[in-house]
Amino acid sequence: MVEPFADLFKESAVFANREVLSPHYVPKHLLFRERQINEIEKSLTPSLRGERGRNVFIYGKTGTGKTSCIKHVVDKVRELPIIKAKITYVNCRIYNSRYRVLSKIASDHIPQYAKRGYGITDIYEKIINWIEEDGKILVVVLDELDIVRDLDDLIYTLTRSNSDIKSGGVTIIGVSNKISFKEVLDPRSLSTLYENEFVFPPYNSEELAAIIKDRVASGFKPNVVDPACVNLAAAIAAKDSGDARLALKIITKAGEIADNKNQSSVGVNEITEAAKFAEEEIAYEVIGMLPEHQKLIVYAIALMSITGGRYKKLDENNDSFLLSGEIYSRYNSIVESLHKDVKTTRLYRRYIADLEMQGIIISHESGKGIRGHTKLIKLSYQPEKIKEMIEKNLFKEN
């Protein structure tokens, strides 16, 4: 008789330490991000000296190392023996409102005031008083800040706090996949930001291969992963988006497939099989986290990719591409059918840029054969699956 859960406790034939293969693992040395780390550290230096520094905003596609770099810097700051700043790291997927962010700050530094029962004004005043006690600088790291529901209120509160603080101040470090997050901010909030901005580029194939090789050395048992697997996983991830998270997911999934087959090694076949699962998982995860109107734009693109648009009739060799204007019209129809407000063309263009930055769509400018000047767009993933996923994820909420 087979013991219950026996397979769960069986030692893996390929993995040594799966934790280091996780995209959430922060290694001591971050490859190919020395310059970005240095820029963040330089931007933080005035705050660490007790001066009011410039706010910092970091952008980049998913999997470009933004969160790992900022966590690396936060850990280094916390290790410094004498500084005139206190730091709070906020994962905005968890703390997704102004109240929750302020409560997280209080919980980190003045926990006696973090318990329930205090309103926003009370918590805010306690934080201000705590800063003024010794003129410290509070550095607030807002990771994925575009997720915050009342982002404008939060940014306004944090930036305007410097007008209320008599001694000390607040510095913001914002991290986002979306270059358009500031579109939701009121001019009053924008006027007080005074920021430095950094863009993290995608990794190329050689960089991804080095990152995977570094993680494989401690994540897998010796001589388990064929060197060709490292290069193949890197090439697949680089081709799609330069996403290190995708590369790590591919190599990890390949190890799981090998384990399930009771193999003692990971080969190219496992990488090829793993890539199909990993790409879809990443895509669905990213699309599932998009704001509502960006989801609706993706939904419009998926619908038109299935039925075909005007460009298909113009050029049969490029039937996977769609005209940007047609997508906007389809998006309008969907939004109006849901009795919601349609976003302007200016915001629509920003959303398209965000979607391309995250690798969800591919676009290029039209050439000869089309009147005027327009953008041609296509999905990076299977439209049928994207359509089904959004219908389950979005329309069940409406």
pLDDT digit string, tens, across residues 233-286: 999 999 867 899 999 999 999 999 999 999 999 999 999 999 988 878 877 888
pLDDT digit string, tens, across residues 157-190: 999 999 999 999 999 999 998 777 777 788 878 7
Q: In angstroms, rounded to a whole number, what is the distance separating the alpha carbons of residues 229 and 251? A: 8
Nearest to 94 by CA among 24, 154, 142, 138: 142
- Whether 324 is covered by a domain: the verdict is yes
- Whether 84 is covered by a domain: the verdict is yes
- Whether 365 is covered by a domain: the verdict is yes
Backbone angles phi, psi at 237, to 5 degrees: -65, -40
Residue 183 and residue 270 share a domain: no
Residue 239's pLDDT is 86
The answer to whether residues 282 and 249 touch, using CB atoms and an 8 Å cutoff, is yes
Task: Answer with the one of 181, 200, 219 that is the final residue of a domain.
Answer: 200
Q: In angstroms, rounded to a whole number, what is the distance separating the alpha carbons of residues 191 and 209? A: 43
Bridge partner list, 266:
225
**CATH number of the domain where residue 258 is located:** 1.10.8.60
- Whether 177 is covered by a domain: the verdict is yes
- Whether 220 is covered by a domain: the verdict is yes
Residue 187 and residue 49 share a domain: yes
**CATH number of the domain where residue 344 is located:** 1.10.10.10
- Whether 28 is covered by a domain: the verdict is no
Residues 6+ apart with CB under 8 A from 47: 53, 85, 137, 139, 169, 171
The answer to whether residues 245 and 39 touch, using CB atoms and an 8 Å cutoff, is no
Q: In angstroms, rounded to a whole number, what is the distance separating the alpha carbons of residues 217 and 31? A: 14
Residue 1's pLDDT is 47
Nearest to 237 by CA among 287, 285, 275, 280: 275
Q: In angstroms, rounded to a whole number, what is the distance separating the alpha carbons of residues 133 and 83? A: 15
Residue 230's pLDDT is 97
Residue 320 and residue 262 share a domain: no
Whole-number Cα distances in Å, 97 to 100, 139, 151, 237: 5, 18, 7, 33
Task: Answer with the one of 252, 267, 288 that is the final residue of a domain.
Answer: 288
pLDDT digit string, tens, across residues 34-53: 999 999 999 999 999 999 88
Residue 107 and residue 50 share a domain: yes
Residue 38 and residue 180 share a domain: yes
Residue 58 and residue 142 share a domain: yes
Look at residue 207 and give its three-state secondary structure.
helix
Residue 371's pLDDT is 53
Q: In angstroms, rounded to a whole number, what is the distance separating the alpha carbons of residues 81 and 281? A: 42
Q: In angstroms, rounded to a whole number, what is the distance separating the alpha carbons of residues 293 and 340? A: 10
Helices (H), 315-375: 324-337, 345-357
Residue 319 and residue 261 share a domain: no
What's the domain count of the chain?
A: 3
- Output the tens digit of pLDDT for each of the chain's 398 residues: 455 555 655 789 999 999 999 988 999 899 999 999 999 999 999 999 999 888 999 998 889 999 999 999 999 998 988 788 999 999 998 999 999 999 999 999 998 876 667 899 999 999 999 999 999 999 999 999 988 989 999 999 999 999 999 999 999 999 998 777 777 788 878 777 878 899 999 999 999 999 999 999 999 999 999 999 999 999 999 986 789 999 999 999 999 999 999 999 999 999 999 998 887 887 788 888 788 899 999 999 999 999 877 655 445 555 578 999 999 999 999 999 999 999 999 889 988 988 887 778 988 887 655 555 678 999 988 899 899 989 987 776 55
Residue 61 and residue 105 share a domain: yes
Residue 177 and residue 49 share a domain: yes
The answer to whether residues 281 and 318 touch, using CB atoms and an 8 Å cutoff, is no
Buried b / exposed e across 208-240, counting CB within 10 Å, b at 16+?
Answer: bbebbbbbbeebbbeebbbeebbbbbbbbbbeb
Residue 256 and residue 137 share a domain: no
**CATH number of the domain where residue 178 is located:** 3.40.50.300
Residues 6+ apart with CB under 8 A from 372: 366
Residue 245 and residue 277 share a domain: yes
- Whether 21 is covered by a domain: the verdict is no
Question: What is the extent of the structural domain holding 373?
Answer: 292-397
Helix or strand holding residue 75 (H, E): helix 66-79
Residue 331 and residue 194 share a domain: no
Task: Answer with the one of 179, 200, 221 that is the final residue of a domain.
Answer: 200
- Whether 6 is covered by a domain: the verdict is no
Nearest to 234 by CA among 267, 200, 208: 208
Q: Residues 151, 89, 40, CA angle at the centre, nearest 5°?
A: 95
